[in-house]
Structure 1
Amino acid sequence: MSNGAETTALQQPTFPLKAPGTAVVHAGQRQSPRIVSVPTRCTEHVLELPEGADLFASLEASLTDFAVPGIMAEFVSGQFGHIDYVHPAYGPDAEHPMSFTQAFTVDDPSRLRHASATIGWRDDSPFCHVHASWTNADGETRGGHLLPGTLAGPFGLTIRLLALPDAHLISDVDPETGFSAFAPHPVTPAHATASSSTAPDLAAAARPAEAVVARVRPGEILDEAVLAVCRTAGFDSAEVVASLGSTTGAVFIDGTAPWPAVEFTHLSGAVTGARNSTPRITLSGEVVDVAGEVSSGTLKPQANPVAVTFELFVRRTD
């Protein structure tokens, strides 16, 4: 694919499709716990990428630049110059209903719509996971799971980095789903010393957590998972930012995207009264479906189970 136009026919499913929001039970052994979360401090930085900058190399270098073991990121503005990507596809059978397309390429400059990234480690090397959407010169909107080789365009890219000194983000193959997924691990004093050019700030580490980064497993309802993370951390009010992952289709207040999987280019929202019996949770986001098409809206409460994984970032506001 070039210039934003996919040239291969969409692979059709060989099994009956279900309604958006229907949970999927994966073929692998069910893992526990279903939500893994790590409280952490958080510092913000802005990364400005000039034209031609290698997106993945730049994001991965930020781990060393800021001497942290994990970063969540959301893209603010700018342009892609070259994009390599895949998007969700139907899997081979009913037991494995989710997969990815072949790789596509966009060669012309495209304006950023939304993007989020998790930056951490795989096999002890820097690694990042990026979902994005864009608008090409013809006004067509597309999106997907970006691949190495993606470059910043003529207007560059501005990216907001949320550096996490207390959360070691590691990508491994998940035995339940068969896909690679990031999970947070608490930073040990030995790792903190080894990964930083200076001694760890023990006084700062003793302060209450400013944020929580979490991995949410398949079948967990997204807004319920956000509330559970807030309650476990003791947050009464919080914001959801720089989060990405997949649900089984998407169920918005005013529409849907098709089952069995869509990928979020971003998830944002707010939680108030989390410690009360009547909390308020509002989440909105944008997703890419099996046709590479982009939909967005406010998520319908208690209607969006995680498909493969969700990399969730919640920051305290109370």
Structure 2
Amino acid sequence: MRRIDHPGIPATERLHSAICRVEAFETVLEPGYSLIDSVALAVGRYGVSSAVMRLSGGCLDCFAYCMPALSKTSEHAVYFSETFRVQGRVLIETASVTYGVRDGQPWLHCHAVWLEPDGRRHSGHLLPDQVNVVKGIAATGRAIYGAEFVVTPDRETNFSLFMPTVTPSRSVLSQTKSFGNAAESHIVRLSPNTDVCLALENFCLEKGIIAATIQGGVGSTVGAVFDDGRIVEPFVTELLIRSGVICPDANGDLRARIDIAMVDYKGTVSEGVLARGQNPVLVTFELVVEPLDA
């Protein structure tokens, strides 16, 4: 399996998680706001500070994004490109969002696939305070109670990244909300060189989770190998999960099936199901594991 060597000290723990409860929601991100403000408005209705969601449809303008890139210094193993801007309305095909807290304020991490005014289909990392919602965007996701994604300095990668943090919700709503028989969910962050599928399968086994869905899903891998044999050779990528499940196969063994869209540093967009045991994390991977065995 390929790997990436970062300049910092790797943490012993390669999967960070926090127990939480989640509430499903479907909403529309309102136009007239920046992406971060529109998401904050939508999530704020649930009285929580963190959520994951997938987006589709709708339009953005003042569109700004960056790409995965090679690093020009020894401070980072990989980095971001310069900021690219698109004139006119951009149609969101699909996107995945991790919404949390940075310096005490709302922030989000979003990878998306979109169509530009000239018909070009592209993918990358949206700059949430530099893009505006101009036509309502459908959002389906999970509000998170009892834990948060908090931007935290990471010694291994020298980036500040969303990390799971156990914290009582600041909302009175969460103190009175009934979750019925719903099983506890987990917010998760995977570290570099951790295989995505195997790590999540092992995590479910350790937690006694019989089957689960993956909610959200924003991250990066060292290139990619798909289950149909296709290989993405450029090793610097960013991706989003389009759908993901972890469930028993015909032999009763837990298997993760993760369908993704990704862009590599050369600008090529690739899509498919990740092959087990062949897709190590590049920098980070954020998601929620929601059990189905309640």
- TM above 0.5: yes
Query: Does structure 1 conserve the Cα–Cα contact (< 8 Å) formed by 2:7 and 2:74?
Result: no
Q: 1:108 deviation in Å?
A: 1.5
Query: Does structure 2 conserve the Cα–Cα contact (< 8 Å) formed by 1:241 and 1:267?
Result: no
User: For the residues of structure 2 that align with 1:267 and 1:34, how far apart are their CA atoms?
Assistant: 24
Query: Does structure 1 conserve the Cα–Cα contact (< 8 Å) formed by 2:153 and 2:159?
Result: yes
Query: Does structure 1 conserve the Cα–Cα contact (< 8 Å) formed by 2:5 and 2:77?
Result: no
The letter of the residue matching 2:191 is R
User: For the residues of structure 2 that align with 1:74 and 1:103, how far apart are their CA atoms?
Assistant: 23
Among 37, 55, 73, the alignment partner of 2:17 is 37
The letter of the residue matching 1:90 is L
Q: What residue ranges of structure 1 are gaps of 5+ in the alignment?
A: 1-20
Correspondences of 1:1-318 after superposition (within 5 Å): 22-92=2-72, 96-147=76-127, 148-153=129-134, 155-187=135-167, 191-192=168-169, 195-198=170-173, 200-201=175-176, 204=179, 209-252=183-226, 253-273=228-248, 278-318=253-293
User: For the residues of structure 1 that align with 2:273 and 2:177, how far apart are their CA atoms?
Assistant: 40
**Structure 1's 152 and 242: CA in aligned 2 closer, same or farther, altered over 3 A?**
same
1:163-194 Cα offsets, whole Å, 9 max, x none, are 0112221011211001121111122xxx33xx
The sequence identity of aligned pairs, in percent, is 29
The worse-fitting range, judged by mean Cα deviation, of 103-112 and 249-258 is: 249-258
Query: Does structure 1 conserve the Cα–Cα contact (< 8 Å) formed by 2:98 and 2:287?
Result: no
Query: Does structure 1 conserve the Cα–Cα contact (< 8 Å) formed by 2:52 and 2:288?
Result: yes
Q: Which has a greater percent of strand?
A: 2
Q: 1:48 deviation in Å?
A: 1.4
**Structure 1's 29 and 97: CA in aligned 2 closer, same or farther, altered over 3 A?**
closer
User: For the residues of structure 2 that align with 1:303 and 1:237, how far apart are their CA atoms?
Assistant: 22
User: For the residues of structure 1 that align with 2:267 and 2:33, how far apart are their CA atoms?
Assistant: 25
User: For the residues of structure 2 that align with 1:96 and 1:260, how far apart are their CA atoms?
Assistant: 14
Query: Does structure 2 conserve the Cα–Cα contact (< 8 Å) formed by 1:77 and 1:159?
Result: no
Query: Does structure 1 conserve the Cα–Cα contact (< 8 Å) formed by 2:47 and 2:174?
Result: no
User: For the residues of structure 1 that align with 2:141 and 2:177, how far apart are their CA atoms?
Assistant: 23
Q: 1:234 deviation in Å?
A: 1.9
User: For the residues of structure 2 that align with 1:251 and 1:215, how far apart are their CA atoms?
Assistant: 21
Query: Does structure 2 conserve the Cα–Cα contact (< 8 Å) formed by 1:70 and 1:169?
Result: yes
Partner of 1:4: none
Query: Does structure 1 conserve the Cα–Cα contact (< 8 Å) formed by 2:142 and 2:215?
Result: no
User: For the residues of structure 1 that align with 2:174 and 2:186, how far apart are their CA atoms?
Assistant: 23
Q: Secondary structure at the match of 1:168?
A: strand
The worse-fitting range, judged by mean Cα deviation, of 110-119 and 259-268 is: 259-268
**Structure 1's 245 and 120: CA in aligned 2 closer, same or farther, altered over 3 A?**
same
The letter of the residue matching 1:217 is S
Relative to the length of structure 2, the TM-score reads 0.90
Query: Does structure 1 conserve the Cα–Cα contact (< 8 Å) formed by 2:36 and 2:106?
Result: no
The letter of the residue matching 1:266 is I
Q: What residue ranges of structure 2 are gaps of 5+ in the alignment?
A: none
**Structure 1's 233 and 290: CA in aligned 2 closer, same or farther, altered over 3 A?**
same
Q: Secondary structure at the match of 1:261?
A: strand
**Structure 1's 256 and 93: CA in aligned 2 closer, same or farther, altered over 3 A?**
farther
User: For the residues of structure 1 that align with 2:9 and 2:264, how far apart are their CA atoms?
Assistant: 26
Q: Secondary structure at the match of 2:183?
A: coil
Q: 1:269 deviation in Å?
A: 2.0
